[in-house]
Structure 1
Amino acid sequence: MEKDISAFRFSALRKELGLTQSEFANELGISTTADIERGKTKISGKMLVSLQVKYRINPLWLFDESDQMYIDQKPISILPKVVVVDKNDSENIVLVNTKAAAGYPQNLANPEFYDSLPVFDLPIPEYRNSSYRGFQIEGDSMLPSLHPGDWVLASALESMDSVNPNRMYVVILDDAVLVKKIMQKPLSNNITLISTNESYPPYDIKAFNIQEIWEVKSKLTFNFEPMNSNNLLMDLQNSMEELKKQISSNQGTLNA
């Protein structure tokens, strides 16, 4: 007996969400999804509503009446929810350190929260005509580009259409402030967050869970290690000596 197309797509959806059958069942308020995935139980109207509300799944897609998996929505606003200005109505740059970042996602639209954060003005043309915010780096996932304790100055992004996979962004989720590269997936509601430190694998999130995005424009670091000409020459000499040793070793192997 062939399985219904809805069973295949229901199973594919669960796997894309990265959920076990038990976890998916809990999300939908049922005991198990196993019988649905085997085609023994039909998807109920209540489950269709849950899938639409929780994950924006297009019911027509589940029943092979549409190729569009997710429901069309109005573009999600990722612009800043609050801006801070001085007495001359010029916008200030708010600094969000690692401690403040813990409460930042929950207070995006709370003006009183911003009153507790330091602000400053940067009288440089490049930092005009846009909203900027400073964020302190926590963790080592963006090494070697960004070190723990570094600060980045980032400009507000207007829409996901402006995302460049080669740039770094401060991504504000419902419960976290992250600095990552972003890779968008065509015809998918998922986006991939990428660290520059290869020890951290990429992972997917739902685009509609993003509250704000800030494009990193510059950084302030306290890990500056100047490289003078003597150091460069020494590094070059060491590299040449190592290369000579490798060549000599290879020649010895060939002669043997």
Structure 2
Amino acid sequence: MKPTLPIEVTRFKEVREALDLTQHNFAKALEIKGSTADIERGKSKITGGMVVVLMEKFQVNPLWLYGKSTQKQLNTTVNTSPKVLTVTPENNEGIVLVNVKAAAGYPHNIQDLDWYEELPAFTIPLPEYRNATYRGFQVEGDSMLPMLHPKEWVLGKAVENISMLGNHVICVVVMHDSVLVKKVQKHENKELLSLISINPEYPPITINTHQIQEIWEVSSKISSEFDESAGNMALSQIQQSLTELKKEINLLKN
């Protein structure tokens, strides 16, 4: 018969599973080496430092963790605002561009000022891009076809918290281990969100809001490709309409 694990161990594992993190990635998030396997087996203790990180990053109530409270979260309002703002030499807020390669390291460097300095930034002198913070992200994969193509760029406006976010809007969602461009659907349970791909081949992903570090609501995209097929299709339709119109005129003449 297996020995009963302390409640803090079972709840520690429950937190990890709710965040949908591997033991290795959860250890990274908790700023410890290796994985959390030994903790979940009851072989290693949960340190005070881990409890602090659980509180600060995931709003886990330490009293709940140790079985002294039924309230799991300390705060249900998740701060999704930018962790770092960049300013150009002209003292204007810059739009940082995060390409596919940089996006892989974005979640882990989200508060590293030096890391941001390595990324390109620019400004757009248009009124709609003033008095707000924007960031550019490069699209990876085909999950958002046909609206967004691989290697295109989206410009996202910072969202301070999820309550300010509209429903069914396309966003860049920065989690603790990944950066995703998806359509966001809210739930009655405010701790949950569904991330939906436009390409029907990809199933929706349901996440806990405490998995989110930042959200950027997509306002525009930048593409270097011109869709010739759409133009050819439109031209073909015009030619067909003209042909049909000529036939109708000839019938009227006869």
Output the TM-score relative to the length of structure 1.
0.66
Deviations 1:222-243 (A, max 9, x none): 3321526522336779xxxxxx
Distance in 2 of aligned mates of 1:211 and 1:176? 10
Say whether 1:118 aligns with 2:120.
yes
Deviations 1:73-125 (A, max 9, x none): 15221111111112232101100000111111111111101111011111011
Is the contact made by 2:194 and 2:205 (CA closer than 8 Å) also made in structure 1? yes
The alpha carbon displacement at 1:56 in A equals 4.4
RMSD, aligned α-carbons = 3.4
Residue correspondence of structure 1 range 20-169 to structure 2 within 5 A: 29=40, 56=60, 70-73=72-75, 75-169=77-171
| Structure 1: tracts of 5 or more residues without a match | 1-9, 20-25, 32-48, 238-256
Q: Which runs of 4+ in 1 moved over 4 A?
A: 16-19, 52-59, 234-237
Corresponding residue for residue 211 of structure 2: 209
Say whether 1:230 aligns with 2:241.
no
The alpha carbon displacement at 1:189 in A equals 2.1
- The alignment of Structure 1 onto Structure 2 pairs a total of residues equal to 197
SS of match in other structure, 1:211: strand
Say whether 1:192 aligns with 2:194.
yes
SS of match in other structure, 1:102: helix
Distance in 2 of aligned mates of 1:77 and 1:98? 24
Is the contact made by 2:100 and 2:138 (CA closer than 8 Å) also made in structure 1? yes
| Structure 2: tracts of 5 or more residues without a match | 1-10, 21-36, 43-50, 243-254
Deviations 1:125-146 (A, max 9, x none): 1111100111000000111110
The alpha carbon displacement at 1:209 in A equals 1.1
Is the contact made by 2:60 and 2:73 (CA closer than 8 Å) also made in structure 1? yes
Distance in 2 of aligned mates of 1:214 and 1:27? 36
Output the TM-score relative to the length of structure 2.
0.66
Is the contact made by 2:169 and 2:185 (CA closer than 8 Å) also made in structure 1? no
Distance change >3 Å, CA 223–CA 113, structure 1 → 2: same
Structure number with greater CO (CA < 8 Å, separation at least 6) is 2
